[in-house]
Chain A
Amino acid sequence: MQSAQTSFENLRKDFPILTRKVRDNKTLVYLDNASTTQKPNQVIDAITDYYQNHNANIHRAVYALAEEATEAFESVRDKVAKFINIKHREEIVFVRGTTEAINLVAYAWGRDNVHEGDIVVSTEYEHHSNIVPWQLLTQEKHAKIEYIGMDDNGELILDDLDKLLDTGKVKLVAFSLMSNVLGTITDAEKIIAKCKAKGVLTLVDGAQAVPHMQVDVERLGCDFFAFSGHKMLGPTGIGVLWVRKSVLETMNPFHGGGDMIREVHKYETTWNDLPYKFEAGTPNIADVVGLGAAIDYLSKIGMDNVRQHEIELTQYAIEELSKVKGLKIYGTKDISKRGGVISFNFADVHPHDVAQIIDEEGIAVRSGHHCAQVLMERLNVAATSRASFYIYNTKSDVDALINSLNKVARLFKL
């Protein structure tokens, strides 16, 4: 795949930030893509163009700018539908990000459907955003949150799910399609099939998966699906919640305000159509436009190519990191079951120290609990270092990481 590799190298010119120097004139090696990704000129330009040429509020005014702004905004709903295969555009709600999407579901669906004694199921490798909203909900409702456990290979123990489903009390199973710490790709179709057989709804957190692989929501068959724009080349502050129409139609509003109403009178209000009922107030129009540009950019590359590039890179990184004495990689080494996220610890050196020392060489990795403290407890570590890849990363980025780790070894006399 020589040519594919070369074309990925060519993408780097679209990302101005990758040329800058950091610290002591070191070239930036950005390996924190599971946290947020860098933005190509195409996305930055789309946002600038929107503000310079089309800015107006949407859905209301009749003048030319408003029409253009509305068209620019609504056309992204169609792009999202096409990108992750959603049949009905009115099932797509724009939100601030995955966190807001899950909170919306916990509030607008959860409060009417989860009652005393009920169970909401999460997993041991969830991000806090797919745990805390359910804790808040279940505490309020005197319901319970339970977890699908994780085995030592970093994969979910589906027997746990069977046992929980057998109680007959489970109302929702919420899980991520890809772990933000271990990169494990969840066997979502199996989980959803089990839940469907018991009439239990499922929520899939796609924040880590959508940027890195082809996702087909229709085929998954879940009931709620969420992802964020900023982890897939798009701007911060924009994300998507998809809800199956038959469920969305039963839900009460999340926020009240403008745009979500049909008629407001002194003592009663009727709601706007889907999805506007769930989009109160002026939305983040410019960043929706930016998300559209990000989708265009990724679609042009092709998500299967993105996945293939990351498989090659992750395979190489795991091989090279495994050669570093005293370095422990968490999660499965079966590349078909993981994305481009590698969490590791280096001997007994604390991840913050690792991250700070390699930062001097221009290497940006994340250190800490990665908003997954339940998982840190399960792994029995306080923190990990995490390198995560995207389309613009190359094997030489991996080499730079490995080189910088030698400095850690030298300083800590490993």
Chain B
Amino acid sequence: MSSNADIYHEMIIDYSRNPVNYGHIENPDVTFHDSNPLCGDSIDIDMKIDDNTVSDIKFHGKGCAICMACSSVLTEITKGKSIDEVRKIDKTDVLSELGLEHLQAVRIKCALLSLKVLKSALYSYLGKHMQDSKDVDKLKEEAANLY
């Protein structure tokens, strides 16, 4: 079935109803905000980073079920991973987890907003803590070209 409404399966509804890692972190090492100008979805991500590892991550904001479910999954994937591993997370990691590989173009930005915020957050963190700026700039590019 290729019906667009099929994307509203159990997992998406559950995640959107009970988002995982939703909220704020006190004194985060990095925090980043972005929004989608066309639909008004808006996501903030806070991260705690210890020994080059994401020890805690939370998100908050407003968005549709797709946006909330993908943000939940993304934070689950990210938590406990090293910075190098987090840098390698790409859109298929998030989309495949929720069976959204064939999401229509107009909704893809809902699904990937949190990944964009995550990449931007990492860019902002690494910019402050690392010397290799050329390598870091790649992250910024990745975030900008995500969708």
List residues of A whose CB falls within 8 A of some B CB.
Answer: 23-24, 349-353, 356-357, 359-360, 367-369, 373, 376, 382-383, 407, 411-413
A357 contacts across to B, CB distance below 8 A: 5, 8
Question: Which of B4, B8, B40 contacts A369, CB < 8 Å?
Answer: B40
Minimum CB–CB distance for B66 against chain A, Å: 7
Known A24-B3, A350-B63, A360-B3: A411·B8 in contact at CB below 8 Å = yes
| Neighbouring B residues of A382 by C-beta, 8 Å | 40-42, 62-63
Give 17 pairs: A residue, B residue, CB < 8 Å, sorted on A. Answer: A349-B65, A352-B39, A353-B65, A356-B7, A360-B4, A368-B38, A368-B40, A369-B40, A376-B40, A382-B41, A382-B42, A382-B63, A383-B39, A383-B40, A407-B5, A411-B13, A412-B17
Instruction: Say whether B39 contacts A411, CB under 8 Å.
Output: no
B contact set with A: CB distance below 8 Å: 3-5, 7-8, 13, 16-17, 38-42, 62-68, 107, 110
Query: Given the complex of chains A and B, what is the CA–CA distance between A383 and B42 in angstroms?
Result: 11
Contacts of A360 in B (CB 8 A): 3-5
Closest to B104 in A: A356
Grouping DSSP codes into helix (H, G, I), strand (E, B) and loop, the A interface class, with mixed when no group exceeds half, is: mixed
In the complex, the chain B residue whose C-beta lies closest to that of A348 is B17
Residue of A at shortest CB range from B107?
Answer: A356
Give A412 to B7 CA distance when docked, in angstroms. Answer: 12
Given contact pairs A411-B13, A412-B13, A353 touches B4 in the complex (Cβ within 8 A): no
| Contact across chains for B13 and A413 when beta carbons are under 8 A apart | yes
Closest residue of B by beta carbon distance from A410 = B8
How many angstroms between the C-alpha atoms of A368 and B40 in the bound complex?
A: 7
Nearest-Cβ distance from residue A343 to partner chain B, whole angstroms? 14
A350→B4 contact, CB < 8 A: no
Given contacts A350-B67, A353-B64, A382-B40, 8 further A-B contacts (CB under 8 A): A352-B107, A353-B16, A356-B4, A357-B8, A369-B39, A411-B5, A411-B8, A413-B13
A382's nearest neighbour on chain B, judged by CB, is B62
Instruction: Give complex CA distance A360, B5 in Å.
Output: 7
Task: Give Cα A23 to B4, complex, Å.
Answer: 9
List of B residues within 8 angstroms of A369 by Cβ: 39-40
B62 touches A352 (CB 8 A): no
- Assembly CA distance A9 to B8 (angstroms): 35
Q: Chain A residues near B62: list those with CB within 8 A.
A: 382
- State the 3 A-B residue pairs at the shortest beta-carbon distance, nearest first: A350-B64, A352-B64, A382-B62
Specify which chain A residues have a CB less than 8 angstroms from the CB of B16 in the assembled complex. 350, 353
A382 CA to B64 CA, complexed, in Å: 10
Q: Which residues of B contact A411 (CB under 8 A)?
A: 5, 8, 13
Give the CA-CA distance A369 to B37 in the complex, in Å.
10
